[in-house]
Structure 1
Amino acid sequence: MTEQGVRWTAEQVLALAPDEASRKAGGRLGAAGPWSQTGGSASGAVWGSCKGSGSTPYRTVVDLSGPAYKCSCPSRKFPCKHALGLLLLWAAEGFGDPAEPPDWAGEWLAGRAAKAARPAAGPVDAEAARKRAERRAARIGAGVTELEQRLVDLLRGGMAGQQQAGYAPWEEVAARMVDAQAPGLAARARELGAIPGCGPGWPARMLEEFALLHLLGRAWLGVSGLPEPLAATVRSRVGLPSPAEGETVRDRWLVLAQYDSVSPDGRLTTRRIWLRGLEGGRPALVLDFGPPGRPPGLALPVGLVLEAEARFRPGSAGLRAELGDRTAAAAAAAARTPPGVSTGEALEAYGAALRVDPWLESWPVVLGPVVPVPGDGAEAAWQLADAQGTSALPVWLPQGRSRSGLWRLAALSGGGPVTVFGECGHRGFTPLTAWQPGSPEPVPLL
């Protein structure tokens, strides 16, 4: 999209809201009443002044190519209710012919453009960087050795006391891994502390995680002898930074899903955005992070298309990417439903990905056509069955995830086939977005 005239839907706008309260407040500001000086530019920005409780209207501007937001209100939420209201008004009515932004909006937009055009940092001292990498590798090696001994001691003593021990012992292990500069190992250690409280079957799951952690530790100790793609995956899983120096792909990227998760300690919010290249069909995972009390800054509503360059990071089974140069702003997707695969093909795709990254929790898959089959009872497992009824995948929801999305999926299906995008893993399939036959509009299930 090169013009702000290609508008989003109200659902896509509301998907940007950081919480339900912002969604409701933004909805109340989506009418023309409180707004003045509204407009939009040919480069993909909209702006307006919103009358509030004070004498001075709030000045709001949105760069649709981000999207990014600027508002003079004191809210710490991004986007704030004024940005949501402005976008809803634009989605409903448009702002006429493209115009030049007022000074207060143009200054902010020019600053964003200048920052994007800023050249990269100068060359680094290669020798100093090599020495720092060697020192960090030695620290991680010592941390891995300590972690291995911890696992051996625990297995010798048995896991019967893990439920009574709680989080504290694994928080201590995680702290030791942070000291060893291995944040990936620290995160996996924290997750171990939560497993005993996950209900029946926790010992088997804990043993599985022990095995994966042991495999990662041994892989790190022998990383120099691994093939480079697998070595890059090991470095990434341990927690070493992996700059986006891999393959670069330019495509029109369809936003398939977006959702947030909070770390076990509550200190970090991670936003996962799933993309699919409309021309190449390649999946991409874009991550963004938010500190305590604030959501991540990047928000891409489900159903938008972003014409952009994606720089894929080494490792992570070729999924992790960062968005680079964008040749156009986000636009409403063309009327289409992404092609789906059978449940058997979904499992084959996940199995192939595991050969590249043995620690991969799941693989992005578009299933279709499939029929959701509710379980017997409130907590019984659901299934997604092929339309022919020959095979099915169990539905798995992470702990704490509401089951309301499953009933939304069932209502959308009405007992018939639908297309569903989600994450296929060893515990089952987590549905994230669905499409009803005959309707190209995606329906988020989160």
Structure 2
Amino acid sequence: MSDRWDRPRVLGLAPDAAAATAAAGVAEPSRWSATGCDAESVWGECQGGGQGGAVYQVRADLAEPAFHCSCPSRKVPCKHALALLLLWSDGAVPGAVRPGWVSEPRASRPEAERGEHAARARRKPDPRTAERRERRVDDGLADLDQWLCDQVAHGLAQVEQAPYRLFDDAARRLVDAQAGALAGQVRALAGVPGRPGWPGRLLEEYALLRLLVRAHRRRAELPQGLRDTVRARVGFTVAQEEVLTAGERVRDRWWVTGLRDSAQEQLTTRRVWLRGRRTGRPALVLSFAAPGAALDASLTVGSEVDAELAFYPGAQPLRALVAAKHATISHGAASGGVPEGTSVRGLLGEYAAALARDPWLDQWPAVLARVRIGRAEGGALYAVDGSGDALPLRISDPWRLLAVSGGGPVTLAGEWSGHGLLPLAAWHEEEGAVPL
């Protein structure tokens, strides 16, 4: 029998974070029957959600690998295929003799079941399936719109003492409506009450959600880039194969300016920020793994990568895939390699222009040139440029940054959110690049 893959390898097949998270929830033995595996394949039948839900036949061919599931999802692999592989990885799928629907000769299977990655990228979705999902999303967003109006009408004071389920119930309804990305945003609202200045922050989040609902309702009137952004924010995903095939390609020498890992439920996400030396263009590369497992370490902070990136569609394209890597250039402390930064005023100008294209932008990559770390009354830290302009820093443990800067100027990279700068890396003239 083939060596079983570990969980990071399985989750590395996920087309996006939503699929990986959903797969972890489906990987429950109680939802599966007739599972089995041999040296070439893993198979099983999965009970769909809800009472009387459909039973999906799922198969993974290990050699190619290739995947087939009778569910209507266009993701390759879908959450059912990933969940089956997770069970197999955990040793919960026994060796068995193939049933008839799995042992069918490969030559007689339709092309869509062979080389799923390529075949599904080429074929068009079933318009009836797409129409059904559009209706479900429309209904879910109409429900969210009413929920938002109710929250404002009832007043924000009651939210501070409200139970978590106030937001969780609204998020669950969006999951049922197949608007997963919006569900995550609504669930995150539970963490806003209690923070300093939380009423204004919560009202701002409500307003952005309602703007998104209205934009989706009028999506036919939007320019293509903004329409792609709205659909992505709601939860419509774009397959990696489609991005690699049709996405905008940009080749440059990309500085790796920052890296941040965040764990949520059963998934760890790595965010790696890049900035083009020639184009000055920012890019974000995401990778995923089970918490505590090894993440993709091919992009090292402080290095440069000669690569061609394929960008996901949108009004302000940021997320990208590394389509082809030609060389990696490492910079030592003595090499003098430092990414080109901007001033505080220049960064705020970049951010304002990006917000005009994508009002729901939550982070923007910052590279500030020759800033010093200053402390205001009360102890708050700021990045201060040569003109005296300053940005507040969001950092819980500042000692590494303070030690690197030593009161002198550094090039500082991080994530700017409009509420503060989260430092991720600093370049010192003698120390070189230092991840924070």
TM superposition shift of 1:342: 0.8
What code does the residue aligned with 1:270 have? T
Matched, 1:303 2:308: no
- Match for 1:393 among 369, 391, 394? 391
What code does the residue aligned with 1:442 have? A
Provide the residue aligned with 1:160 in structure 2.
157
Aligned partners of 1:208 and 1:288: how far apart in 2?
30
Matched position secondary structure for 2:118: coil
Provide the residue aligned with 2:399 in structure 1.
407
Provide the residue aligned with 2:324 in structure 1.
325
CA displacement, residues 124-178 of structure 1 (integer Å, 9 cap, x when unaligned): 6856433322221111110000001111111111122222223212111111111
C-alpha contact 2:277 2:340 (8 A) present in aligned 1? no
Q: Which runs of 4+ in 1 moved over 4 A?
A: 123-128
C-alpha contact 1:257 1:274 (8 A) present in aligned 2? yes
- Match for 1:210 among 185, 194, 206? 206
Q: How many residues align?
A: 314
- Match for 1:427 among 403, 415, 419? 419
What code does the residue aligned with 1:137 have? E
- Match for 2:168 among 128, 151, 171? 171
TM superposition shift of 1:350: 0.1
Provide the residue aligned with 1:353 in structure 2.
354
> What CA RMSD, in Å, does the superposition of the two structures yield over aligned residues?
2.1
Provide the residue aligned with 2:435 in structure 1.
444
Matched position secondary structure for 1:432: strand
CA displacement, residues 242-274 of structure 1 (integer Å, 9 cap, x when unaligned): 2423210122222111111123xx232211001
TM superposition shift of 1:182: 0.7
Aligned partners of 1:246 and 1:195: how far apart in 2?
36
What code does the residue aligned with 2:364 have? W
C-alpha contact 2:249 2:311 (8 A) present in aligned 1? yes
C-alpha contact 2:263 2:291 (8 A) present in aligned 1? no
TM superposition shift of 1:412: 1.8
Aligned partners of 1:255 and 1:374: how far apart in 2?
28
Provide the residue aligned with 1:268 in structure 2.
267
Aligned partners of 1:182 and 1:146: how far apart in 2?
12
What code does the residue aligned with 1:433 have? A
CA displacement, residues 366-386 of structure 1 (integer Å, 9 cap, x when unaligned): 101111112444xx4211111
C-alpha contact 1:337 1:435 (8 A) present in aligned 2? yes
Q: 1:119 to 1:174 in 2, by over 3 A?
A: closer
Matched position secondary structure for 1:339: coil
Aligned partners of 2:352 and 2:283: how far apart in 1?
18
Provide the residue aligned with 2:222 in structure 1.
226
Provide the residue aligned with 1:340 in structure 2.
341
Provide the residue aligned with 1:148 in structure 2.
145
Matched position secondary structure for 2:338: coil
Aligned partners of 1:210 and 1:272: how far apart in 2?
26
Matched, 1:196 2:193: yes
CA displacement, residues 405-428 of structure 1 (integer Å, 9 cap, x when unaligned): x22222222222111011223102
- Match for 1:129 among 119, 126, 131? 126
Matches for 1:106-125 after TM superposition, within 5 Å: 121-122=118-119
C-alpha contact 2:226 2:315 (8 A) present in aligned 1? no
Matched position secondary structure for 2:266: coil
Provide the residue aligned with 1:41 in structure 2.
none
Q: 1:134 to 1:193 in 2, by over 3 A?
A: same
User: How does the TM-score come out when normalised to structure 2?
Assistant: 0.68
Matches for 1:366-377 after TM superposition, within 5 Å: 366-377=367-378
Matched position secondary structure for 2:342: coil
Q: 1:125 to 1:417 in 2, by over 3 A?
A: closer
TM superposition shift of 1:119: 9.9
CA displacement, residues 154-207 of structure 1 (integer Å, 9 cap, x when unaligned): 11111222222232121111111111111111011111111114x221111100
Q: 1:413 to 1:292 in 2, by over 3 A?
A: closer
- Match for 1:236 among 228, 232, 241? 232
C-alpha contact 1:256 1:302 (8 A) present in aligned 2? yes
C-alpha contact 1:236 1:316 (8 A) present in aligned 2? no
C-alpha contact 2:255 2:339 (8 A) present in aligned 1? no
Aligned partners of 1:295 and 1:281: how far apart in 2?
30
Aligned partners of 1:333 and 1:167: how far apart in 2?
47
What code does the residue aligned with 2:435 have? P
Provide the residue aligned with 2:136 in structure 1.
139
Provide the residue aligned with 1:290 in structure 2.
289
Q: 1:221 to 1:442 in 2, by over 3 A?
A: same
Moved more, 358-367 or 272-281: 272-281
CA displacement, residues 214-261 of structure 1 (integer Å, 9 cap, x when unaligned): 001111111111011110110111111124232101222221111111
Q: 1:316 to 1:302 in 2, by over 3 A?
A: farther
Q: Unaligned regions of 5+ residues in structure 2, if any?
A: 1-114
Provide the residue aligned with 1:258 in structure 2.
259
Aligned partners of 2:282 and 2:124: how far apart in 1?
36
Q: 1:123 to 1:179 in 2, by over 3 A?
A: closer
